[in-house]
Every structure is written in structure tokens, then in C-alpha cells.
Amino acid sequence: MNNPSAGHDTGMPAYPDTLIACVQTHPVMGDVAANLARSTALIEEAAARGAKLVVLPELANTGYMFASRDEAHALAEPVPTGPSSQAWIALAQRLGIFLVAGITERDGDKLYNAAIVAGPRGYLGTYRKLHLWGDENLFFEAGNLGLPVFDTEIGKLAVAICYDGWFPEVFRLQAMQGADIVAVPTNWVPMPGQTPDGPAMAHSLAIAAAHSNGLTIACADRVGVERGQPFVGRSLIAGSQGWVVAGPASHDQEEILIAAVNLKKARHGRQLNAFNHVLRDRRGDVYDPMLGSGYPRLAR
């Protein structure tokens, strides 16, 4: 029997909804074992609720406010061979999910604010934050792995971390490489002029990027105050047409946000009307569609 939701587009397979989850946590600075245990419990809960992609916050295994480079170096781990990576990879395999988790990475003497990407068949890759914020510049190297896009059963998956979201080029290049979903581990801090109950600048940026690129953007933030630094929480999932499909979460509680994503509808939704498509309408005669990156152009 034909799937009624396929409508007249019988030439395309019908894609079921996929549930994606953002896990908002409250890490304990420096307590990797406790942070792993808590993240494991919340990931298991998200998977039990049907999530096939789970996103954790930035630096979810260590906390964020390092007192010194020595402390950061002592807490950092190699990826994917370190204990945090191995625990998360095994969890993704056991639960049959895809997992994106912020991690403090050590590669030789260099440190990176990174995210590990794992799936049902194990380790998929690493993303390293391109744009460092504040004192991160004292501890981390800027990312050197570019903007990889991972092919998965739930669609093409990309990653950005926190301040990366302030740069529209990041989302554009991911979308032009064919990304469907961008997982954003983040540790949002209040921006100048931002009030506790007012709009969050990060929300506006994620919503705008989702709409202008036809991407689902899943932002998993943390909560709490760490060594005097407050974090805003309010994790959010913006659907591929820019509308909020889950959240914002609270500003001070651990939570799991879950939203349904339909790959077929999302890709078709980039066609705004009979004339306009958010990616194909780009003026390649005026500017380089791939921004000089050299990445392959695979946008749909």
C-alpha cells in the first residue's frame, strides 16, 4: 500500500520521522567520572524515549572554566581512545543511537575544544571548534579539521560548537555540503544586554541559520554557575524551516528536549515556492558558492 504521506511525490521513498534529543546537563568542574555517569543516565533516558540522535553540551565530560592550562591538560583525553570517548562510543553502540558529545581533547601537547561523533557501529569522527571564545584562547588550539559532514542512516550530520554559531559561514558550508542536521554542543553565556527572561541571542542565530539554510539545528546547552561564570541553559531545537520545534528548555534545570525530524520533508522544504530555493538561489556569479573552501558542493 502506498504511504499517504508521500502525496504525489511517488518517485521518492517515504522517510519516517526521526527523533533527536538535546540533553541539557549540569557538569561538575573536573569530575569526569561523575559527568560521564550523569550523561550516561540521561542518554539512556533519551534513547528509551525513542531518540536516535542525542546531543550533549560542550565540554560535557570536564566542565568549562579551567583555572590553568595545566588543569585543562590534566583533564583532557585523546580521542577516540580516551576513557570518555570509549564510554560514549560503547553507549552509542549498545543503544543503537548516534551521539554527539562535547569533549576536552588532547592530541600530543595540543588541546582542542572538540566533539566526538559516534553511532551504532562505533566511532564516526571528531569535530574541533573553529572559533574560540574568551579564555578558551588560553587553553585550546583553533580547530584544524574543517567542517566535516558525516553520512548516517538518519541523514547527513554536521557539528558546530557554541561560538561557531555566530558565523553564518559555518552553517552555509555545512548545508552546501549536503548536511541535514547540525548538532551544536554549547555552553552559552549571557551576552551583553541579555536579560534572564528575554530573548537569547544564540536562539536568534540558530533560528536564522536553520531557516536560511534549510537545516535542523539542535543546540544542547548546560546549566549552572561554574567558578563564578553563569550559563544560560535554554537548549533549543530549530527545525529546518526555522521554527522552534523543541524548547527553549529552562535556564537552570537538567532537561531532555526531543523533536521529530522528517528528512524528506526537510529537504523538500528548502523549496520555498515555485521560484525560490534557499540554497539554489545563491548568486554564484557574484560570490563563490563554497566561500573559497574547496569543499564539494552537494546541496540538495
What was the pLDDT predicted at 10?
Answer: 40
Q: Is 226 a catalytic residue?
A: no
- Judged by DSSP in three states, 251 sits in coil
Residues constituting the chain: 300
What was the pLDDT predicted at 199?
Answer: 76
Cβ contacts of 80-86, under 8 Å, gap ≥ 24: 80/116, 80/118, 80/123, 80/126, 82/106, 83/32, 83/36, 84/32, 84/36, 84/116, 85/116, 85/118, 85/123
Phi, psi of 163 (to 5 degrees): -60, -20
What was the pLDDT predicted at 6?
Answer: 38
Q: Is 22 a catalytic residue?
A: no
Cβ proximity of 248 and 235 under 8 Å: yes
Of 22, 136, 162, 255, the catalytic one is 162
Of 58, 77, 136, 226, the catalytic one is 58
Sequential pLDDT tens for the chain (300 residues): 333 333 344 444 556 899 999 999 999 999 999 999 999 999 999 999 999 999 999 999 999 999 999 999 999 999 999 999 999 999 999 999 999 999 999 999 999 999 999 999 999 999 999 999 999 999 999 999 999 999 999 999 999 999 999 999 999 999 999 999 999 999 999 998 887 777 789 999 999 999 999 999 999 999 999 999 999 999 999 999 999 999 899 999 999 999 999 888 888 888 888 888 888 867 888 788 777 877 777 766
Terminal alpha carbon distance of the chain = 28
Pairing relationship of beta strands 255-261 and 244-246 according to DSSP bridges = unpaired
Of 22, 77, 129, 219, the catalytic one is 129
Q: Is 77 a catalytic residue?
A: no
**pTM across the whole model:** 0.91
d(CA 123, CA 278): 32
Q: Say if residue 49 is exposed, middle or buried (CB neighbours under 10 Å; 0-12, 13-18, 19+).
A: exposed
d(CA 41, CA 33): 13
Residues 6+ positions from 96 with CB-CB distance below 8 Å? 47, 52, 120
